Chains A and B, each alone.
Chain A
Amino acid sequence: MSLAGHYSYWVTIFLMVAGLYIVIARGNLVKKLIGLGIFQTSVYLLYIAPGKLIGGTAPILAASFSTYSNPLPHVLILTAIVVGVATLALGLAIVVRIREAYDSIEEDEILDMDSVGEEGG
């Protein structure tokens, strides 16, 4: 197969690496969560793209169709999307609480504030 034939995989890998890079490289807690979202999205693509056959239809037995796309990845990813949304919502909720407690959402500033009194209660 040519490079172009693996087109969907290239997009997937790009999104995956880009998302992970944002999580690691950014100090802003909200931006980190956006990176995490992109990283998770790449997995949706990893599952769904191979399930589609060009010219394939939904797997309903009928005389006029012979090629079917795989519907299972869609169902799986529907679940994964729900999980992703829940994670993002919880993550943002925690960031809101962090901002209330520290008045900042920059990781380095928060760590600086915490390193003052080392011993926690």
Chain B
Amino acid sequence: MIGGHLPALQVVVPLLAAPLMLLVRRGIFAWLLAVAVSWTALAIALALAFTVRESGPISYAIGNWPPPWGIEYRVDALNSFVLVLVSLVAAIVAPYARASVAAELPRDQHYLFFTMYSLCLAGLLGITITGDAFNLFVFLEISSLSTYVLIALGRNRRALLAAYQYLVLGTIGATFYIIGVGLLYLMTGTLNLADLAQRLREVHEIRPVLAALAFITAGVGLKLALFPLHFWLPNAYTYAPSAITAFLAASATKVSVYVLLRFYFLVFGVPLVFGRLAMAEVLIALSVIAVVSASLVAVFQRDLKRMFAYSSVAQIGYVTLGMGLANQAGLTGAVVHLFNHGLTKGAIFLLLGGVALRVGATGLQRVAGLGRTMPLTSFGIVLGGMSLIGIPGTAGFISKWHLVLGAIEHGYWSLVALIVASSLIALAYVWRFVETAYFRVPESSAATRNEAPASMLIPAWIMVGGCVYFGIDTGYVLDGARHAVEFLLGGVR
């Protein structure tokens, strides 16, 4: 009975939890509920993923209005993969958040934090699961608005400006998206994504469709921090509360990438996007600039959170690079990298939250000698850093390997060289951390062991463990990604 409603429950559970937390106004209750909700979401996402694997895509008609008239929730090989990623990250960050939030936020704001956290989770899951273009916009705004609030909760007053700038850019991005959807609606009279794909084949006046493609690319590009549109990201990540930086870095941009993938491959279709327009070249060019320039900028940062925020811009570049390659290997690389980078960055930012708690800051000179005072934390960051570089045996290697394969398939040898070269730049910024943490003497002479509390270390290390585990046993993730990519490439001809 309830099994048939899992697609709706995936979104409804966190959505209903939020007002409940607001009404009860107790920090501890809100936290417990947030943990329960995110674990339930993970269980539902896994159940949905297994069902999809066994018996194909699930279509759920909200309110029993049959699609394409009503809103359809559609779970398939691609978005079930993203659902698992988002809810997994949420399920790991939620238990972690308690100690971190207790240290960073005043007591009376705790329940508000978890309210926003649940809303953000509901929004991200909603974006992923919905099969309706306008419903997607609504969820995009639910997740974005709660994100702005969460960023503004940061301790430093710069968090306010970061939230404001993200609000302005994010709203412009969402509005661009909705303009694109409006144009598509004018041309086809439908908002259901699958139905849109069908009807777009029959549209002869192609110019509005191309305009829609441009608007949606720019709008979603802003959200996923595609290279020239990434300016909001470093500040937002740097000044947000630690738990939120980890959550956003691991999930929010990934969901936006998913939206772009869906529109390119399953709505507009490969012939239009990559045949008629030179989107492949544009995406590859922007991605390469992102990867190289953002990595270089990361090398010269003096704050660890900011350094890894710039590294995020670079890593998103790898994902869009795989998207631009648009072949089996490249896309597999992109989808796997969504997952792997989510885990890696999540792990690093969770550990940095511990650093912020014990050291009080994440400035590079403040963490001198961290290898001695916080050995587990430093070692975790080093392992995460190795995954960012793409050293064999870590998750990052698997995705880069597929990207390289995809580039070779096209015969882009210079691109292969650039991927390798950019890994060396990543090595440079990770080395700056290693050097400071292990080869410098702590600032104060009283360098006692002062590790982060277990409630923060354990979730962080689960993610670090994931980075290593999925680098060695690639079965599950690679399998899921392969199914997703087959689905993407088989979608629309």
Give residues in A with beta carbon < 8 Å to B.
16, 20, 23, 29, 32-33, 36, 39-40, 43, 46-47, 50, 73, 76, 79-80, 83, 86-87, 90-91, 94-95, 97-98, 101-102, 110-111, 114, 118-121
In the complex, number of A-B residue pairs with CB atoms less than 8 Å apart: 84
In the bound assembly, the distance between CA atoms of A91 and B168 in angstroms comes to 8
Q: Which residues of chain B are within 8 angstroms of A121 by Cβ–Cβ distance?
A: 155-156, 360-361, 363
Q: Does B178 lie at the interface of the complex (its beta carbon under 8 Å from any beta carbon of A)?
A: yes
What 4 A-B pairs are tightest by C-beta distance, nearest first? A101-B157, A83-B141, A98-B160, A119-B363
Q: Which residues of A contact B163 (CB under 8 A)?
A: 94
Name the residue of chain A whose CB is nearest to the CB of B141. A83
State which of B35-43, B87-95, B145-153, B341-349 sits at the interface with chain A. Answer: B145-153
By the criterion CB–CB under 8 Å, are A46 and B303 in contact? Answer: no
Q: Within B93-150, which residues are at the interface with A (CB < 8 Å)?
A: 134, 137-138, 141, 145, 148-149
Chain B minimum-CB-distance residue to A50: B186
- B161 close to chain A: CB less than 8 A: yes
B164 lies within 8 A of A91 (CB): yes
Determine whether the beta carbon of A36 is less than 8 Å from that of B171.
yes
Contact at A23–B172, with CB atoms within 8 Å? yes
Apart from A83-B137, A119-B302, A119-B303: 5 A-B pairs, beta carbons within 8 A: A86-B141, A101-B160, A102-B157, A120-B363, A121-B363
User: B160 — which chain A residues lie within 8 A by C-beta?
Assistant: 94, 97-98, 101
A46 to B: closest C-beta gap in Å: 5
Q: Which residues of A contact B152 (CB under 8 A)?
A: 94, 97
9 A-B pairs within 8 Å (CB atoms) are namely A20-B172, A43-B175, A47-B182, A94-B148, A94-B167, A111-B161, A114-B161, A119-B361, A121-B360
Residues of the B chain whose Cβ atoms lie less than 8 Å from the Cβ of A80: 137, 178
B contact residues around A39 at 8 Å (CB): 172, 175
B239 at the interface (CB under 8 A from A): yes
Residue of A39, A76, A111 most packed against chain B (CB within 10 A) = A76
